Structure 1
Amino acid sequence: MLITLRNVLSGHEIKQYRQYFANLNWLDGAQSAGQQALSVKQNEQLDPKDKITQQLGDHILQALANSPQFVSAALPLKIFPPMFNRYQNGGYYGWHVDNAIRIIPDTPVRLRTDLSATLFLNDPEEYEGGELCVKDHYGEHRVKLSAGDLVLYSSTSLHQVTPVTKGQRVASFFWVESMIRDHELRDILYDLDQSIQSLGTGSGIENPDVVNLSALYHRLIRLNVDT
């Protein structure tokens, strides 16, 4: 799975984020790197304990809750609080796989990382390099989206951020534990839901076929939900 969600944040919201970023302290990203990633990670991150950082993360969570496409794609059970990173002056993050388990800060809650997400916070014309490269069974995908757009992909995927050779690349990143553990089944449910939504738009949500397909969709979720 690799799904792009457009306009998760508006242009006005992006402008407000940038005003906050200008007044916050960026820390060495190596502080949050695992042993495997430590040697291939060169970036900066905002302090996740900073009040403003947490407020911005909460704002992203609210935007995601209001995104039918995100809910359909992720079927989220838990979401790791969004973090923020910045790449510049050749900064990069080499090939790696995200940790399978994350502990939500200041809680005993553990989260299984089923899906990884990157929310781009500036436009691709503002920097050179900085592509998110994701490898899966279908090959390598290179992703560089507009400000406010988000990419969602399997956390089991090998991925990297290529060196930023000019300008700055700023993004938010986080992980999702889905109610549906199986990646293939989650993909099928997403495709089914998107088809139902499309049929509902064309034929009306009260159309018998739309109603029946919707009932089957929810039956499949009930049979497979992992909580």
Structure 2
Amino acid sequence: MLIPILGVLSKDEVKQFRSHLDQAEWQDGLKTAGTLARAVKRNLQLEDGSPLAVELGNHILRKLGSNPLFISAALPSRIYPPKFNRYQDGGTYGAHVDSAVMQVPGTHISVRSDLSATLFLAEPEEYDGGELQVEGPFGIQAVKLAAGDMVLYPSSSLHQVTPVTRGARIASFMWIQSMVQNDSSRTLLFDLDQAIQGMTGVVPADDPRLLKLTAVYHNLLRLWAVT
């Protein structure tokens, strides 16, 4: 399931991010590419662990930690520290699947990539191309969101970034290990939680139907969650 999460960062926050990123020193994305990715990856990335990457990444994590839609959709257990990339002058990332398990640099912590996330930091009109294309059961979905918006999608999906032919596509990306590994189970819980939230405020808090649905949600989460 592909889930847009709008307004993760405000326009003012995006402006502050860009004031730093537009002056940053970017390195060739091939430095962090695996054997197969080297054949299809052409972009720039902010150096992992740099003070700027850490500062901006921590800000994103704080925002996500208080975002109800993100929590509901991802049920996060661990999040790989946000990374930053830039596509320009024909930059692209051909079709690929993200690695299943990733080691957080400088630690002994591993993150299983259940969900991938892209947080857009450039407005769509700033660049041509650069769509995130995600292949799913109903075909290919193309995503190009406003700056400050994020999209979540299964890391098992074949996906790519189309060539940027004008301007620069700037984004943050990360991977999430969910408490619920199975995508279908996680989708069911998300739909149920959204239905419950839709009823909240419409029916009394002690309505037996609402209480029953809430109990079903938590019992399913108890059944499927691994912490």
Contact 1:189 1:217 survives alignment (8 Å)? yes
> Where does residue 190 of structure 1 map in the other structure?
190
Give 1:206 shift: 3.4
Query: Number of aligned pairs?
Result: 227
1:53 and 1:189 map into 2 onto residues whose CA distance is: 33
Q: Check if 1:156 corresponds to 2:156.
A: yes
Change (3 A) 1:205 1:147: farther
1:201 and 1:143 map into 2 onto residues whose CA distance is: 33
Give 1:142 shift: 0.3
1:226 and 1:137 map into 2 onto residues whose CA distance is: 26
Structure 1 consecutive aligned stretches of length 4 or more whose deviation exceeds 6 Å: none
> Where does residue 213 of structure 1 map in the other structure?
213
Partner of 1:223: helix, strand, or coil? helix
2:138 and 2:201 map into 1 onto residues whose CA distance is: 31
2:180 partner amino acid: I
Partner of 2:177: helix, strand, or coil? strand
- Structure 1 segment 38-49 matched on structure 2, within 5 A: 38-49=38-49
TM-score (norm 2): 0.98
> Where does residue 7 of structure 1 map in the other structure?
7
1:94 partner amino acid: G
Query: Which consecutive unaligned segments of at least 5 residues does structure 1 have?
Result: none
2:186 partner amino acid: R
Change (3 A) 1:204 1:145: farther
Contact 1:87 1:130 survives alignment (8 Å)? yes
Q: Check if 1:110 corresponds to 2:110.
A: yes
Contact 1:200 1:207 survives alignment (8 Å)? no
State the Cα RMSD in Å. 0.8
1:206 and 1:183 map into 2 onto residues whose CA distance is: 31
> Where does residue 97 of structure 2 map in the other structure?
97
2:226 partner amino acid: D
Give 1:22 shift: 2.5
> Where does residue 179 of structure 2 map in the other structure?
179
TM-score (norm 1): 0.98
